[in-house]
Structure 1
Amino acid sequence: DAPAFPALSFWPALILAGFLGIHITGSFVRSQKNHTLIFTKENTIRNCSCSADIRDCDYCLANLMCNCKTVLPSTMEKTTYNSHLTIWFTDTSVLEMLLNFTRVWDLKLSFCGTAPLPTEYLAIWGLRKLRVKKVKGRFPEQSVTIYSSSSNEKENSLAVHNKDRQMLVYISFLDTSLFNGYSLLKSYSVENVSSITEHFPSLLYSDVFSTSDNKSYVVTFIY
């Protein structure tokens, strides 16, 4: 019989292959960018950091797969979301608290409730892309892109770029009744608005915008 010792020569190759596999897998996991998921459940707010997309309104899976913590409504502060934000909601009061005059670039809203929503308007700063999922996913996901920018642009949450020494400011108004039943997600924008109060005197929240000579608004209505 042939000696068994030559078979040992395969072990270094196997060990190397295993090491490379672990290294590649670890690099892939580290390359995944976390995104923020916020949802309400039983009068509590859960703020989660997820490395993968979670099926809409699957609270158990979110608690299992994401790093979540409970947040008291009284401690919620306005913040800037520079990466993807997903919100699962059942009523507009939570959306108002989380989104009104908040800076969000990439947003997904999933309606997890059953009752029709009232017509309310939320003001969102700097929104680039919106995706919506209506009525517990009984309708296909819809999306609208308000504007896009290259990843290498140096910009803050409000100003996209300076043109002729004017700061271009994006503000979107979202009609919450769009989640009631099936309808195509629509939007339209009005550019070169120097004063929101003068251009839209009957618009809700218009009195909170200050008039400035160096600002030009792009106002988008989403419905």
Structure 2
Amino acid sequence: MKLTAFSTFYFWLALFLAGFLGIADSFVGSQKNHTLIFTKESIIRNCSCLADIRDCDYSLANLLCNCRTVLPSTMEKTDYSNDLTIWFTDTSVLEMLLNFTMVWDLKLSFCGTTPLPTEYLTIWGLRKLRVKNKVKGQFPEQSVTIYSSSKNEKEDLLAVHNKDRQMFVYISFLDTSLFNGYSLLKSYSVENVSSITEHFHNLLYSNVFSTSDNRSYVVTFIY
């Protein structure tokens, strides 16, 4: 009788634990990971985080996120379908990570103290941008939405929309001096641009954009 009661107790305990672990796995699986990349003492850390980390808190990021060290020489261009956050102290890391990279939702946190010069980054498919800085400017945290998401996430990721057999390609040019926080974050877009070379011939790298009969650019300037 005691053996039966003992076995019954462990049967229900095992059943309870199985159910609890199933719920826990489901909860963890439902969490949306986002990517955090930061530089610290010339070392690049690429992290996957379940929650937002306080800006520029390197120790907390290493503690709560799954991080790995990446050598600059091994960095490859990657498309980011999830949220991407970058902590940086100079523009060199932004150029390496973002120039001609496809990013959907982007947060850039300036962790340095020296004001940044005016340089331009070219980003494909940018939908939403948040910027934050530690410089004592008037506007420490700002955001701008370039375009709203559609029901088809794959289309948003590719940043190419097919309308009346014409492809619309979203591209943004970002002025890095905006991180100094001395003015409101502003943006404006120019639609139906058939040739970036012809319309914006003074832009750096304008010659790399192809011209196609069925392709039209939506060009956004963020400053």
For 2:207 and 2:76, the matched residues in 1 are separated by 22
Query: 1:156 and 1:132, CA in 2 relative to 1: closer, same or farther beyond 3 A?
Result: closer
For 1:129 and 1:153, the matched residues in 2 are separated by 14
For 1:154 and 1:92, the matched residues in 2 are separated by 30
For 1:66 and 1:159, the matched residues in 2 are separated by 29
Aligned to 1:181: 181
Q: After superposition, what is the alpha-carbon deviation per residue over 1:2-30, rounded to whole angstroms, capped at 9, x for unaligned?
A: xxxxxxxxxx9999877765544442222
Q: CA deviation at 1:136?
A: 6.1
Query: 1:29 and 1:153, CA in 2 relative to 1: closer, same or farther beyond 3 A?
Result: closer
For 1:102 and 1:208, the matched residues in 2 are separated by 14
Higher mean C-alpha deviation, range 128-137 or range 195-204: 128-137
Query: 1:71 and 1:42, CA in 2 relative to 1: closer, same or farther beyond 3 A?
Result: same
Query: 1:17 and 1:65, CA in 2 relative to 1: closer, same or farther beyond 3 A?
Result: same
Higher mean C-alpha deviation, range 75-84 or range 131-140: 131-140
For 1:200 and 1:160, the matched residues in 2 are separated by 21
Q: CA deviation at 1:189?
A: 0.1
For 1:161 and 1:178, the matched residues in 2 are separated by 29
4+ residue runs of structure 1 moved beyond 6 angstroms? 12-19
Matches within 5 A, 1:19-38: 23-38=22-37
Between Structure 1 and Structure 2, how many residues are aligned? Answer: 215
Query: 1:124 and 1:182, CA in 2 relative to 1: closer, same or farther beyond 3 A?
Result: same
Give the TM-score taking structure 1 as reference length.
0.87
Query: 1:85 and 1:137, CA in 2 relative to 1: closer, same or farther beyond 3 A?
Result: farther
Q: Is the contact between residue 56 and residue 137 of structure 1 (CA under 8 Å) also seen in structure 2?
A: no
For 1:210 and 1:153, the matched residues in 2 are separated by 25
Aligned to 1:73: 72
Unaligned runs of 5+ residues in structure 1 are 1-11
2:42 is the counterpart of 1:43: yes
**One-letter amino acid of the structure 2 residue matched with residue 128 of structure 1:** R
Aligned to 1:4: none
Percent of pairs with identical residues: 82
**One-letter amino acid of the structure 2 residue matched with residue 88 of structure 1:** W
For 1:174 and 1:154, the matched residues in 2 are separated by 24
Aligned to 1:147: 147
Matches within 5 A, 1:131-210: 131-135=130-134, 139-155=139-155, 157-210=157-210
For 1:212 and 1:165, the matched residues in 2 are separated by 12
Q: After superposition, what is the alpha-carbon deviation per residue over 1:51-87, rounded to whole angstroms, capped at 9, x for unaligned?
A: 1110000000101111111111111111100110000
RMSD over aligned Cα atoms? 2.4
Q: Is the contact between residue 35 and residue 85 of structure 1 (CA under 8 Å) also seen in structure 2?
A: yes
Q: CA deviation at 1:221?
A: 0.2
Q: CA deviation at 1:153?
A: 4.6
Query: 1:141 and 1:151, CA in 2 relative to 1: closer, same or farther beyond 3 A?
Result: farther
Q: Is the contact between residue 135 and residue 181 of structure 2 (CA under 8 Å) also seen in structure 1?
A: no
For the residue of structure 1 that corresponds to 2:104, the secondary structure is strand
Unaligned runs of 5+ residues in structure 2 are 1-10
Aligned to 1:3: none
Query: 1:158 and 1:186, CA in 2 relative to 1: closer, same or farther beyond 3 A?
Result: same
**One-letter amino acid of the structure 2 residue matched with residue 46 of structure 1:** R
For 2:98 and 2:142, the matched residues in 1 are separated by 19
For 1:154 and 1:38, the matched residues in 2 are separated by 24
For 1:36 and 1:180, the matched residues in 2 are separated by 24
